[in-house]
């Protein structure tokens, strides 16, 4: 039996509000139901914020209940995430032309793109790599989702769409998990932009315009005073080859393909990637030496986009040996960022480079083959059907032929507008055959110390995130765990020829050589999408195109201004509105404008800059220049 108990919905007004807000489709928050496949009773208590607290007597029943609760609360969101990641949006919404400024315009292009990049393939690979224990627990989660789909009233969105979703699968779960990781990767479009700039302006001017791994002045996550990687990096340098320059000017025939792929990727990002923004996250931890309580403190804002419902779904899990709470992703059963009774963990994006674009050559004598240093080899080919929903409820089928080289999917296949005879580009990614995330998240939910937290992430593969943790004993640590390619002869900043064998991956950076930090002497760890460490201190390309360190500088500044911090101080830092980049940029702009013949509007704008206190609150008109 699984029992749903009303938590603290205090007062008649609160209950009336919830009834009004959700009626007639609100799931019940009290009562009980019988489920034959449960081994023992499970209790679910919803608190005043409608956060479910699930208590089970074994893990199998816990995972079932998590699946049931997520599906009864967030089923349409799960179906939507599945449709995006599997390239099936047009199957849900059709493909009527709505204009480029509309949210769901040209969904067939979006679907083709996701079919090509192959998140479903990566989801299948992840399931195949799961160990027996976690696959069994994953199937119990799936069983809970499907039980809720059978029992609960369909969400109004599905009824309006007249969509009857097929049963949930473990592959669905792992595929949408890859979607969340994919949206945090930015290197592929940056490679294409650098390639286009180099073709138009030349390699030197392009490098000056959009430098590879620009080292912004300011704070790093791992600063030399906390941990100096230069001595150990010197010992590792024997394994690191000097990158060989790749000149884009030698490959002008790829220009139109790169331009079209950039246009497609931009459209897809506008339509489907709004669910996750890679920029502006932050986390910071302080050691007991910096706190009033003598305990470590930690804060985190993953800064994903605001949605209704939200991207995260907060949950609390309790079972023998497990008591953890935090943010789950609807459609997946594990806590991504949260805490247990001993450890708190947080995440932000590293901008680690996990994608490479390859210029490929088709065999001129046989278009079913492509060239390698060892001669032509056949493409791996897969036929798929993209379905488009029509006004009468019928479907139009759009056949797709997907090709793969040894490096990965042929990106041209996402766009019918690229001529068949055009040069092709393929993409390599660390998501290929990656599947350790369930194992890692399961272990960290049970971690009893920062060291155990670090050990759990030896199983993590994609994506590389800035994981920061603090434990009950006052230790703090930083671990950007995951697969980071060891590139042969290149740095991953521009597309490279794929037919020579010169530019390949030689595996991944060993886990013990990924930068990390434990109990830094400064007593603080600050991550805000800034550089992990000085690029010259590390022998391999790692962090590509990070954000400027303004936010990290400001967080560190506020920590240092407060001799002893408490939870209120951490919250104050979290919601600070001071734009530190204004300190640097506003005077430069004022100096450049001074003495010019300005219009009335321009003069007013200059006055705003002069008077600006660098706060970005709603009363500051100058905020629009820098936020």
Query: Which pLDDT score, from 0 to 100, does residue 568 have?
Result: 97
Partners of residue 371 on adjacent β-strands:
none
The stretch 363-378 carries a mean pLDDT of: 96
462-491: pLDDT as tens digits: 888 999 999 999 999 999 988 999 999 998
Query: Which pLDDT score, from 0 to 100, does residue 17 have?
Result: 39
199-208: pLDDT as tens digits: 999 999 998 9
The stretch 298-324 carries a mean pLDDT of: 90
Q: Give the pLDDT band (50/70/90) at residue 310.
A: confident
Positive or negative CA dihedral for 34, 36, 38, 40? positive
**Do 359 and 497 form a contact (C-beta atoms < 8 A)?**
yes
The stretch 589-618 carries a mean pLDDT of: 87
**Do 413 and 445 form a contact (C-beta atoms < 8 A)?**
no
Judged on CB neighbours under 10 Å (0-12, 13-18, 19+), 369 is middle
Task: Calculate what percentage of the chain has a pLDDT beyond 70.
Answer: 90
The architecture in CATH of the region 2-103+117-184+311-341 reads: Orthogonal Bundle (1.10)
Query: Which pLDDT score, from 0 to 100, does residue 270 have?
Result: 79
Asked whether the predicted pLDDT for residue 24 surpasses 70, the reply is no
Asked whether the predicted pLDDT for residue 411 surpasses 70, the reply is yes
Q: Which segment of 132-141, 307-316, 440-449, 535-544 scores lowest on mean pLDDT?
A: 535-544
Asked whether the predicted pLDDT for residue 369 surpasses 90, the reply is yes
Portions of the chain given CATH number 1.10.439.10: 2-103+117-184+311-341
Q: Give the pLDDT band (50/70/90) at residue 103.
A: low
Q: Which segment of 33-42, 141-150, 342-351, 411-420 scores lowest on mean pLDDT?
A: 411-420
The two three-digit tokens of residue 487, written as one number: 């590139």
Describe the crossing of helices 132-151 and 59-86 by its angle, rounded to 10 degrees. 80
Q: Which segment of 154-163, 256-265, 394-403 scores lowest on mean pLDDT?
A: 154-163
Describe the crossing of helices 170-182 and 132-151 by its angle, rounded to 10 degrees. 100
Asked whether the predicted pLDDT for residue 575 surpasses 90, the reply is yes
**Do 78 and 71 form a contact (C-beta atoms < 8 A)?**
yes
Query: Which pLDDT score, from 0 to 100, does residue 261 have?
Result: 93
Asked whether the predicted pLDDT for residue 3 surpasses 60, the reply is no
**Do 87 and 118 form a contact (C-beta atoms < 8 A)?**
no
The stretch 295-307 carries a mean pLDDT of: 88
- Angstrom CA distances, 526 to 530, 552, 553, stand at 9, 6, 9
Supply the mean pLDDT for the chain.
88
Q: Give the pLDDT band (50/70/90) at residue 368.
A: very high
What is this structure's pTM? 0.91
Q: Give the pLDDT band (50/70/90) at residue 13.
A: very low
The two three-digit tokens of residue 145, written as one number: 């989702």
Question: What is the rounded distance in angstroms from the CA atom of residue 130 to the CA atom of residue 139?
Answer: 11
Collapsing DSSP states into helix, strand and coil, what is residue 454?
helix
**Do 428 and 358 form a contact (C-beta atoms < 8 A)?**
yes
Query: Which pLDDT score, from 0 to 100, does residue 28 have?
Result: 76
For 599, phi then psi, to 5°, come to: -75, 175
**Of 283 and 241, the one with more pLDDT:** 283
Question: What is the rounded distance in angstroms from the CA atom of residue 538 to the CA atom of residue 610?
Answer: 41
Q: Which residues contact 579 (CB under 8 A, 6 or more apart)?
A: 550, 614, 615, 616, 623, 626, 627
Asked whether the predicted pLDDT for residue 106 surpasses 80, the reply is yes
Highest mean pLDDT among 52-56, 108-112, 304-308, 440-444: 52-56
Query: Which pLDDT score, from 0 to 100, does residue 102 have?
Result: 53
Query: Which pLDDT score, from 0 to 100, does residue 259 have?
Result: 93
Asked whether the predicted pLDDT for residue 420 surpasses 70, the reply is no
The stretch 567-595 carries a mean pLDDT of: 91
Question: Which pairing describes strands 42-46 and 424-429: parallel, antiparallel, or unpaired?
Answer: unpaired
Query: Which pLDDT score, from 0 to 100, does residue 180 have?
Result: 82
Query: Measuring CA to CA, which residue among 319, 324, 322 is closest to residue 338?
Result: 324
Q: Give the pLDDT band (50/70/90) at residue 404.
A: very high
Query: Which pLDDT score, from 0 to 100, does residue 41 have?
Result: 95
Q: Give the pLDDT band (50/70/90) at residue 25.
A: low
Query: Which pLDDT score, from 0 to 100, does residue 279 have?
Result: 58
């Amino acid at each position: 039996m699984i029992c749903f108990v009303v938590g603290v919905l205090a007062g008649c007004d609160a209950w009336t509000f919830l009834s009004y807000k959700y009626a007639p489709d609100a799931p019940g928050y009290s009562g009980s139901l019988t489920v034959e496949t449960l081994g023992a009773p499970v209790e679910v208590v919803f608190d005043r914020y409608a956060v479910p607290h699930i208590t089970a007597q074994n893990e199998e029943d816990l995972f079932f209940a998590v699946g049931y609760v997520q599906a009864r609360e967030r089923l349409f969101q799960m179906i939507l995430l599945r449709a995006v990641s599997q390239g099936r949006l047009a199957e849900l919404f059709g493909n009527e032309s709505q204009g480029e400024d509309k949210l769901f315009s040209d969904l067939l292009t979006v679907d083709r793109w996701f079919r090509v990049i192959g998140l479903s393939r990566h989801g299948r690979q992840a399931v195949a790599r799961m160990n027996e224990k976690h696959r069994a627990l994953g199937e119990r989660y799936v069983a809970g989702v499907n039980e809720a789909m059978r029992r609960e009233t369909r969400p109004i969105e599905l009824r309006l769409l007249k969509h009857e979703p097929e049963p949930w699968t473990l592959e669905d779960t792992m595929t949408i998990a890859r979607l969340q990781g994919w949206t945090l990767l930015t290197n592929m479009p940056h490679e294409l932009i650098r390639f286009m700039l180099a073709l138009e302006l030349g390699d030197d001017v392009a490098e000056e315009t959009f430098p590879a791994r620009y080292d912004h002045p300011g704070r790093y996550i791992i600063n030399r005073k906390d941990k100096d990687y230069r001595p150990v990096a010197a010992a590792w340098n024997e394994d690191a080859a000097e990158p060989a320059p790749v000149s884009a000017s030698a490959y002008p025939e790829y220009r139109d393909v790169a331009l079209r792929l950039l246009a497609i990727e931009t459209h897809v990002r506008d339509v489907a990637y709004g669910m996750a923004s890679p920029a502006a996250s932050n986390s910071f931890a302080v050691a007991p030496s910096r706190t009033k309580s003598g305990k470590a403190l930690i804060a985190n804002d993953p800064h994903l986009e605001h949605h209704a419902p939200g991207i995260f779904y907060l949950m609390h899990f309790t079972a023998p040996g497990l008591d953890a709470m935090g943010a789950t992703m609807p459609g997946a059963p594990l806590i991504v960022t949260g805490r247990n009774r001993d450890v708190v963990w947080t995440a932000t994006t590293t901008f680690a480079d996990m994608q490479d674009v390859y210029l490929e050559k088709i065999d001129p004598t046989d278009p079913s083959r492509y060239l390698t240093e060892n001669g032509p080899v056949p493409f791996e080919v897969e036929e798929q059907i993209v379905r488009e929903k029509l006004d009468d409820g019928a479907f139009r089928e759009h056949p797709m032929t997907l090709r793969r080289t040894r490096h990965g999917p042929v990106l041209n296949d996402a766009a019918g507008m690229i001529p068949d005879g055009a040069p092709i580009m393929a993409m390599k990614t660390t998501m290929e055959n990656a599947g350790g995330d369930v194992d890692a998240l399961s272990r960290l939910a049970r971690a009893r110390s920062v060291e155990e937290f670090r050990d759990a992430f030896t199983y993590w593969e994609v994506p590389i995130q800035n994981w920061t943790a603090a434990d009950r004993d006052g230790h703090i640590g930083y671990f950007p765990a995951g697969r980071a390619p060891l590139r042969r002869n290149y740095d991953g900043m521009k597309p490279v020829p794929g037919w020579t064998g010169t530019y390949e991956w030689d595996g991944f950076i060993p886990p013990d050589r990924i930068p990390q930090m434990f109990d830094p002497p400064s007593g603080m760890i600050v991550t805000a999408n800034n550089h992990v460490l000085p690029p010259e201190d590390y022998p391999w390309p790692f962090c590509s195109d990070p954000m400027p360190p303004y936010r990290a500088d400001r967080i560190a500044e506020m920590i240092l201004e407060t001799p002893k911090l408490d939870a209120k101080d951490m919250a104050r830092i979290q919601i600070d509105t001071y734009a530190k980049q204004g300190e640097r940029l506003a005077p430069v702009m004022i100096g450049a404008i001074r003495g010019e013949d300005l219009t009335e509007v321009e003069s007013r704008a200059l006055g705003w800059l002069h008077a600006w206190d660098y706060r970005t609150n709603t009363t500051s008109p100058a905020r629009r220049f820098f936020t």
